[in-house]
Structure 1
Amino acid sequence: MAVLDRRRRATPALDVAPPPAALELPAVRREVDVALTTFLDTKEQSAPGPELQALTAQLRTFLAGGKRLRPLLCVTGWHAAGGGDDRSTAVRAAAGLELFQAFALVHDDVMDASDTRRGRPSAHRALAAAHFAANGGPAARAAHHGLGAAVLLGDLALVWSDELLNGAALTARRPERVLPLLDEMRSELLYGQYLDLQTTGRLPEDVDTALRVIRYKTAKYTIERPLHIGAALAGADPRVAAALSAFALPLGEAFQLRDDLLGIFGDPEQTGKPVLDDLRAGKATVLMALAAQRATRRELRSLHARFGRRNLTERDTAVVRAVLESTGARQAVEEMIRTRLVQALAALDHAPFPADVRATLQDIAGAATTRQA
């Protein structure tokens, strides 16, 4: 937020009007949460049998956490395009994006064999524990059940996400504008996930490849497409969409770069995830690629000996952190975040958005790049 502070101090206070009020994001978050609860209530009431409640209960638990970043951006995109005060259609789409995020994270945890998510057991672990508590038997059978049930839970969230998103597009009478964006978002995310899967487990030295993973797995899916979808529901013209992209892509990269730093240097009490997970999984991040490029032979051997090891210890993590510091990789990523934040904010200067939308996007950008969780 220091960048914002410098920009605002640059003009004498007496010569300018007070900064415009941002959209009330807490109110948007509440509206999205109500939409999700109402939708799941309806699905439980119309379920073909009581067995489905085990999945919907887990989905409710999963949805209880999260930043709601994509829904907030979707509704902000609606207002950026002049969608009007009745944003119920955008809220419905925003709820669909949160279900899509649930699908992506549940499957991501299965692929990464993650034990926790948001400070709680990941979905496949929780479903395995529930199965074991109810049925007993070998722990391996319960674990296998948990994996299968989590895949189905992710699939269910995806199907229900489609229902909400398609319904919003039809309600807005703009399916020809919105549905292609949804198709692109899904394809981009799956491409990014596959790139991530292909590069995981090998110590990276190619920063460009790591940035390409970020572009498709995070920047477009987390920031750009939610803004585009909300704006398309409101009938945005191409100028608005282009301005949203100019803001979204650098911010999306900065968001993931911050996530990569938190994955190694963050506080598990705040992130809700052990700092060992990314190292144990062997995530080929920009941070690790920069360290590998700059490391001495001894440091590089140290990284190779620890990267992607499932039995990694806290002591091993301390060694890796020391290399990330001594090579300057950590500081380089911090600088990349700052550069991208400045680029995103500069894109707002002449964007064809209402003043309150610009203020909201500035606040989101600051929070996304300075967060501790």
Structure 2
Amino acid sequence: MNRSPGPALLRRSRTIGLGNTGRVTAETQSRESVVGSGAPPLAAAELDRLRAAVSAALTEFLDRQRETLAAMDPTLVPVVDEVCALAVGGKRLRPAFAYWGWRGARDTASPEDEAAVLRAVTALEFVHASALVHDDVMDGAHTRRGRPATHVGFASRHTVEELNGDRHLFGTGAAILVGDLALVWSDELLRRSGISPAALTRARAVWDTMRTEVTAGQYLDLLRAAGGLPGPDGALTVARYKSAGYTVQRPLQLGASIADAGPEVAEAYTAIGLPLGEAFQLRDDVLGVFGDPAVTGKSADDDLREGKQTLLIALAEEEADEAGRRLLAASLGNADAGPEEFDALRGLLESTGARARVEERITGQTARARSAIATAPIAEDARAALDALAVAATSRTA
């Protein structure tokens, strides 16, 4: 596993050359993969500002944790490095939804300190990092954001350092602990964010519900992979609890709770968050099979090799003929399958209409969410920002 340069990496934007046409930073490139290069200037500028604030909060927190673990024993530094490497990537959508959930409902007469709110919503990045690490272990994934998955990286460290025992068990165990530590740190960052005690108490109710749902959703995903929760309805149930809720609905409600918003705002955020979160996850599923690896940071074969039981697969199973069902049985989840088999699976997802039906659902759920945004009882700047985020989250390329 390559050693991360540590939390200070969060302070820098890696520069990518573009010949004589100019230069662009990795931070900007990541933002454009979310909002698109044609995004309104205000939306793009706000996302850049939020990303910078989240990165700064992560840097400050991880620098402190690095010192703490290094003082315990220097061999713990790679654990912090791994969390840092996970934190460098990502689109910061969850903190963005939480922040605008707060902005849309805040009491301008006596608002919470904005810097404290930004630190509080940054804690969502650690929940996300934890979910990613544990998900990769359960799926047996090889890569994450263009680098070895955590369990793969620590298995490589075991080999390089000539440690005793089974390298794969070591990698899996280390990854589970890295994910657990990220979840512990999410609590710590929220608690130490600086929001008022009353706001923290309100936030904890949403926070606890969100973390319970994510964990339950991970189990439902395991169950579905083992043959439980069959069909399209099962796929959508997993998507809702494993990803959709903690991506949009609960972050919005977290912001609302910090703002001490009334029940009508919480209900509006549910009306926005559930369809939009589902559309976000379905876009993720499509990109996992049809995305450009140079943009997504992972092979387009990984989800098929891992046998992920997404809505795409459920719909294809419904419509496939006998030959198609044989192809699914032989190639989906087959670690020994090659590019030809996976290309054939992609062809099946196209020919059965599964991809088109998923795209239709993404469009429909996004429209539902945008309609709810248009009528939500929130501030106009938040309405505009959430609408831009809705489009960004569901039309992204990474």
| Contact 1:200/1:281 (8 A) holds in 2 | no
Q: CA deviation at 1:325?
A: 1.2
CA distance in 1 between counterparts of 2:135 and 2:308 reads: 13
C-alpha spacing 1:20/1:65, structure 2 compared with 1 (3 Å): closer
Matching residue of 2:105: 81
Match of 2:53 among 5, 21, 31: 31
Matching residue of 2:222: 197
Q: Counterpart amino acid of 1:50? A: P
Structure 2: 5+ residue stretches without partners = 1-39
Matching residue of 1:293: 318
| Residue 96 (1) aligns with residue 123 (2) | yes
Q: CA deviation at 1:302?
A: 1.9
Q: Counterpart amino acid of 2:127? A: F
Alignment of 1:1-373 (within 5 A): 21-22=42-43, 24-47=46-69, 48-82=72-106, 84=111, 86-133=113-160, 135-136=161-162, 141-168=166-193, 171-200=196-225, 202=227, 206-373=231-398
| Contact 1:254/1:341 (8 A) holds in 2 | yes
Structure 1 runs (4+) greater than 4 angstroms displaced: 19-23, 201-205
C-alpha spacing 1:20/1:29, structure 2 compared with 1 (3 Å): closer
Q: Counterpart amino acid of 2:276? A: L
C-alpha spacing 1:352/1:324, structure 2 compared with 1 (3 Å): same
1:222 counterpart SS class: helix
1:363 counterpart SS class: helix
CA distance in 1 between counterparts of 2:217 and 2:259 reads: 28
C-alpha spacing 1:171/1:43, structure 2 compared with 1 (3 Å): farther
C-alpha spacing 1:165/1:76, structure 2 compared with 1 (3 Å): same
| Contact 1:201/1:308 (8 A) holds in 2 | no
Percent identity over paired residues:
46
TM-score (norm 2): 0.84
Per-residue CA shift, 1:299-330, capped at 9, x if unaligned? 22222221221112110011111111111111
Q: Counterpart amino acid of 2:124? A: L
| Contact 1:205/1:292 (8 A) holds in 2 | no
Aligned length in residues? 353
Q: CA deviation at 1:201?
A: 5.3
Q: CA deviation at 1:21?
A: 4.7
Per-residue CA shift, 1:41-93, capped at 9, x if unaligned? 11222332322211111111111111111111111111011254831222122
| Contact 1:257/1:337 (8 A) holds in 2 | yes
2:169 counterpart SS class: helix
Structure 1: 5+ residue stretches without partners = 1-18
CA distance in 2 between counterparts of 1:201 and 1:247 reads: 32
> What RMSD, in angstroms, separates the aligned Cα atoms of the two structures?
2.1
CA distance in 1 between counterparts of 2:193 and 2:265 reads: 20
CA distance in 1 between counterparts of 2:324 and 2:288 reads: 20
Q: Counterpart amino acid of 1:261? A: V
Per-residue CA shift, 1:257-309, capped at 9, x if unaligned? 11111111111111111122211222111111111111122222222221221
| Contact 2:224/2:230 (8 A) holds in 1 | no
Per-residue CA shift, 1:15-62, capped at 9, x if unaligned? xxxx99547121111111111110111122233232221111111111
| Contact 2:113/2:195 (8 A) holds in 1 | no
C-alpha spacing 1:164/1:63, structure 2 compared with 1 (3 Å): same
C-alpha spacing 1:218/1:365, structure 2 compared with 1 (3 Å): same
CA distance in 2 between counterparts of 1:20 and 1:172 reads: 36
CA distance in 1 between counterparts of 2:41 and 2:202 reads: 30
Query: Which range moves more in the overlay, 330-339 or 85-94?
Result: 85-94
TM-score (norm 1): 0.89
| Contact 1:203/1:284 (8 A) holds in 2 | no
